[in-house]
């Protein structure tokens, strides 16, 4: 029952976000039409400021979202090309564990002493491991890692992660947007850990985390991930393993308040924009 309610709440949030973004985009189109029809500046400074605000925030959001989408598309294409070039047979021990989990058919391996496991692909996600994973971990730890990745497969987490980043990009002018996206991403990881711990045991999962997280951070990885969320995420995952339930996370009150303040400015601006549409040819509203 709780799970169904959680699913309903999550789906409702996504739908609300989608409606908000579409409404913002529609208002931005109206704003552009109003400037085109009535000229800049508009009759009153309030109207000008309101319409400019709607247009500017939508332009910023669209630019940021397009950047995120293009980056994801480029990364996906490059990764698939490289998997084709560097593909290796899946190590037998990894294949057997995956077969036990029912995901052997969606598993790829690439050459690499460097042990890693990722889930990639938006619409037909797959698991990618390095051949080094078999050397670095025990059979049980490999099973825990694959159980974790299988949860990402089941929930299409690469797509959900990208959607969260796109929404956060659209709302880039809201201080809480990126924080919310990070929380969503952490939620996926904690959920996958619960599934893995349930199957393999928390001690085994802890062993896999210790071994894979301990390897020195590659300078290129550190440079590409300036947010440095790795340590904070791992702290939360370890806390969940210790406590047996997800850790309580403090809301970022300052960011939420700042975002609420920004929205309180945008709301009247949006209403003004909508009201001005009566002066457009045909009077839209």
Partner 1 sequence: MAEQGGAGSTLGPLEAEVMAVLWRAGRPLPVREVAAELNAGRDAALAYTTVMTVMSRLAGKGILVRSRSGRRFVYAPVAADTAEIAVRGVLAEFGDAALARFVERAELDPQLRERLRRLME
Q: Name the site residues for partner 1 (rule: CB under 8 A).
A: 68, 71-72, 74-76, 78-79, 81-83, 85-86, 110-114, 116-120, 122, 130, 145, 148-149, 152, 157-159, 161-162, 165, 188-189, 192, 202-204, 206-210, 212-221, 223-225, 227, 229-231, 233-235, 237-238, 241-242
Which of residues 38 and 112 has its CB atom nearest to partner 1 in the complex?
A: 112
Residue closer to partner 1 (CB basis): 50 or 110: 110
User: Among residues 29 and 81, whose Cβ is nearest to partner 1?
Assistant: 81
Q: 155 vs 255, which CB is nearer to partner 1?
A: 155
Distance CA 102, CA 124 (A): 15
Query: Nearest distance from residue 33's CB to partner 1, in Å?
Result: 34
Q: Which is nearer to partner 1, 100 or 228 (CB)?
A: 228
Q: Is 230 or 251 the residue whose CB approaches partner 1 more closely?
A: 230
The region that residue 117 occupies, defined by phi over 0 for left and psi between -120 and 50 for alpha, beta otherwise, is beta
* CA 21/CA 72 separation, integer angstroms: 20
Nearer to partner 1 (CB atom), residue 69 or residue 280: 69
CB of 108 to partner 1, least distance (A): 11
| Least spacing, CB of residue 100 vs partner 1, in Å | 18
53 or 181: CB nearest partner 1: 181
Least distance in angstroms from the C-beta of 112 to partner 1: 4
The minimum distance between CB 65 and partner 1, in angstroms, equals 13
**CA-CA distance, 194 to 191, in Å (whole number)?**
5
Report the sign of the C-alpha dihedral through residues 139, 140, 145, 150, in that order. positive
At its nearest, how many Å lie between partner 1 and the CB of residue 60? Answer: 20
CB of 51 to partner 1, least distance (A): 34
Minimum CB distance to partner 1, residue 84 (Å): 9
């Amino acid at each position: 029952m709780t799970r169904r309610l959680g699913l309903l709440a999550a789906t409702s949030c996504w739908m609300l976000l989608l409606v908000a973004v579409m409404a913002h985009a529609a208002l931005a189109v109206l704003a552009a039409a109003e400037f085109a029809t009535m000229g800049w500046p508009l009759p009153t400074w309030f109207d000008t400021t309101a319409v400019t605000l709607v247009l500017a925030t939508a332009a910023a959001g669209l630019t940021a979202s397009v950047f995120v989408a293009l980056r994801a598309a480029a990364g996906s294409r490059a990764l698939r090309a490289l998997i084709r070039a560097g593909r290796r047979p899946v190590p037998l021990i990894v294949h057997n564990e995956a077969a036990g989990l029912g995901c052997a058919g969606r598993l790829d391996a690439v050459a690499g002493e460097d042990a890693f496991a990722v889930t990639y692909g938006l619409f037909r996600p797959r698991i990618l491991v390095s051949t080094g994973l078999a050397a670095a971990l025990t059979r049980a730890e490999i099973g825990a890692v694959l159980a974790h990745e299988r949860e990402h497969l089941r929930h299409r987490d690469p797509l959900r992660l990208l959607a969260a980043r796109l929404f956060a990009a659209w709302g880039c002018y809201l201080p809480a947007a990126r924080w919310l996206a990070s929380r969503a991403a952490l939620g996926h990881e904690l959920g996958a850990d619960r599934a893995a711990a349930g199957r393999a045991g928390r001690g085994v999962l802890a062993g896999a985390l210790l071994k894979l997280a301990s390897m020195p951070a590659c300078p290129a990885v550190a440079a590409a991930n300036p947010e440095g969320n790795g340590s904070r995420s791992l702290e939360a995952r370890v806390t969940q393993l210790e406590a047996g339930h997800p850790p309580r996370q403090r809301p970022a009150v300052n960011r939420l308040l700042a975002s609420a303040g920004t929205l309180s400015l945008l709301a009247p601006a949006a209403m003004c924009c909508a009201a001005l549409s009566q002066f457009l040819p045909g009077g839209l509203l």
